[in-house]
């Protein structure tokens, strides 16, 4: 996964300057333990990954990075949308930055988090280096730590297997959601940010599907084949969004136990069913759109019912499959 070289931009004087600070690697990632993450949550997108990040961030047995999605393994710049402004605010005034985070139900930052953000930003567009990536988790001390980033689910298989080989002890968490519902939740999220005319129309949905990664993120079979090392892979944990809706505390306990933490130990800052996105509006799904999506994801729904079981066993009946 190649990263291109440094970016430049014109400043107010019209001269070109480096956007990225020059110099050697920050101390945090220049040397030290390369054990790496205790776990990697590969998604799925819109299946509860933000819920999981929030819960683990307030568990005393875990240290979670100051931003949810590191986007390191997939080389995306999307993390800069959150990391760069947060770094600037925290470096200017940690107290002010933390007042804002407390209002947003996020864990307060420590001075070391400013160094972490600087290190992650420094890594952007530099060649992939899994040792440096591994050191991003060294602030955990004796706690557990990991990377929660849904786009990892659709990494090419060779890259997913390389990550598994490099970090063989890391637990892999995959939160899955019924494919039609998952796609529609993603669709609504993106159209809130980038409105379209007639968002409820079949033509708009089809165009969205053709240009985006929505279908890939609903591809349960392919994601499992990329990341799971056989049916008896003890380090691969699969959990259902249905379980989150039905029993958030029970799901939280199961995942924490799988990761090696204490399911009964909590900081008390967030209830198990905390959902920061509960108030987000959804676009109503038209019958023609529903029929189109059911036909598109029918094979995935049937696969999940047979191969995954559990809540997925009831998915086909929802659509008469």
- d(C-alpha 12, C-alpha 270), whole Å: 45
Contacts of 146 (CB under 8 A, 6+ apart): 37, 38, 39, 40, 41, 56, 64, 137, 170, 171, 259
What pLDDT sits at residue 280? 74
Q: Is the pLDDT of residue 19 over 50?
A: no
Q: Are 284 and 76 in contact (CB under 8 A)?
A: no
- d(C-alpha 17, C-alpha 310), whole Å: 55
Among the residue ranges 2-16, 233-247, 282-296, the one predicted with the least confidence is: 2-16
% of the chain at pLDDT higher than 70? 92
Q: What is the mean pLDDT of residues 94-109?
A: 95
Closest CA to 138 of 7, 266, 33: 33
For the entire predicted model, the pTM comes to 0.91
Q: What is the average pLDDT value for the chain, to the nearest integer?
A: 91
Among the residue ranges 83-92, 188-197, 207-216, 273-282, the one predicted with the least confidence is: 273-282
What pLDDT sits at residue 270? 87
pLDDT-based confidence at 275, cuts 50/70/90?
confident
Strand partners, 10: 16
Q: Is the pLDDT of residue 3 over 70?
A: no
Using DSSP's 3-state secondary structure scheme, residue 172 falls into strand
Q: Domain 35-68+134-318, what fold?
A: Rossmann fold (3.40.50)
Q: Is the pLDDT of residue 225 over 80?
A: yes
- d(C-alpha 246, C-alpha 77), whole Å: 35
φ, ψ of residue 21 to 5 degrees: the values are -65, 135
pLDDT-based confidence at 22, cuts 50/70/90?
low
What pLDDT sits at residue 276? 80
Alpha-carbon torsion 241, 247, 253, 254, what sign? negative
What pLDDT sits at residue 183? 97
Q: Is the pLDDT of residue 17 over 90?
A: no
> Strand pairing of 39-41 and 171-176?
parallel
Task: Using CA atoms of 98, 99, 101, 102 in order, give the dihedral in degrees to the nearest 10.
Answer: 110
Rama region for 128: left / alpha / beta (φ>0; ψ in -120 to 50; rest): beta
Q: What is the pLDDT of residues 226-254, one digit of tens each?
A: 999 999 999 999 999 999 999 999 999 99
What pLDDT sits at residue 279? 65
Packing angle, helices 202-211 and 179-193, rounded to 10: 90
Q: What is the pLDDT of residues 189-200, one digit of tens each?
A: 999 988 989 999
More confident call, 274 vs 7: 274
Q: What is the pLDDT of residues 126-167, one digit of tens each?
A: 999 999 999 999 999 999 999 999 999 999 999 999 999 999
* DSSP designation for 97: H
Q: Is the pLDDT of residue 18 over 70?
A: no
What pLDDT sits at residue 267? 66
Q: Is the pLDDT of residue 4 over 80?
A: no
In the chain, DSSP assigns E strands to 8-10, 16-18, 39-41, 146-148, 171-176, 236-240
What pLDDT sits at residue 23? 81
Q: Is the pLDDT of residue 16 over 80?
A: no
- d(C-alpha 282, C-alpha 51), whole Å: 18
Q: What is the pLDDT of residues 258-273, one digit of tens each?
A: 999 999 888 667 889 9
């Amino acid at each position: 996964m190649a990263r291109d070289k440094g970016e430049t931009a014109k400043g107010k004087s019209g001269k070109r300057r480096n956007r990225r600070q020059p110099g050697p690697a920050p101390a945090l990632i220049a040397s030290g333990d390369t054990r790496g993450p205790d776990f990697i949550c590969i998604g799925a997108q819109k299946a509860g990954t933000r819920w999981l990040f929030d819960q683990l961030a307030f568990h005393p047995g875990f240290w979670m990075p100051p931003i949810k999605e590191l986007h390191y393994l997939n080389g995306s710049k999307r993390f800069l949308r959150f990391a760069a402004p947060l770094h600037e605010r925290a470096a200017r005034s940690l107290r002010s930055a933390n007042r804002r985070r407390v209002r947003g139900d996020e864990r307060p930052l420590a001075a070391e988090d400013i160094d972490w953000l600087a290190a992650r930003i420094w890594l952007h567009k530099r060649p992939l280096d899994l040792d440096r990536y591994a050191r991003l988790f060294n602030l955990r001390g004796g706690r557990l730590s990991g990377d929660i980033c849904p786009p990892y689910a659709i990494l090419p298989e060779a890259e997913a297997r390389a990550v598994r080989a490099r970090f063989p002890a890391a637990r892999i968490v995959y939160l899955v959601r019924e494919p039609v519902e998952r796609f529609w939740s993603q669709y609504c999220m993106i159209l809130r940010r980038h409105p379209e005319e007639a968002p409820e129309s079949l033509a708009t949905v089809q165009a969205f599907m053709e240009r985006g990664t929505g279908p890939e993120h609903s591809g349960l079979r392919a994601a499992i084949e990329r990341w799971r090392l056989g049916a008896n892979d003890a380090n691969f944990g699969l959990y259902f969004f249905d379980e989150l809706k039905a029993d958030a505390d029970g799901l939280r306990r199961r995942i924490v136990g799988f990761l090696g933490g204490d399911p009964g130990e909590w900081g008390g800052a967030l209830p198990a069913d905390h959902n920061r996105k509960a108030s987000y509006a959804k676009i109503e799904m038209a019958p023609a759109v529903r029929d189109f999506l059911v036909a598109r994801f029918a094979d995935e729904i049937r696969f999940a019912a047979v191969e995954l079981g559990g809540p997925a066993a009831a998915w086909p009946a929802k659509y008469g499959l």
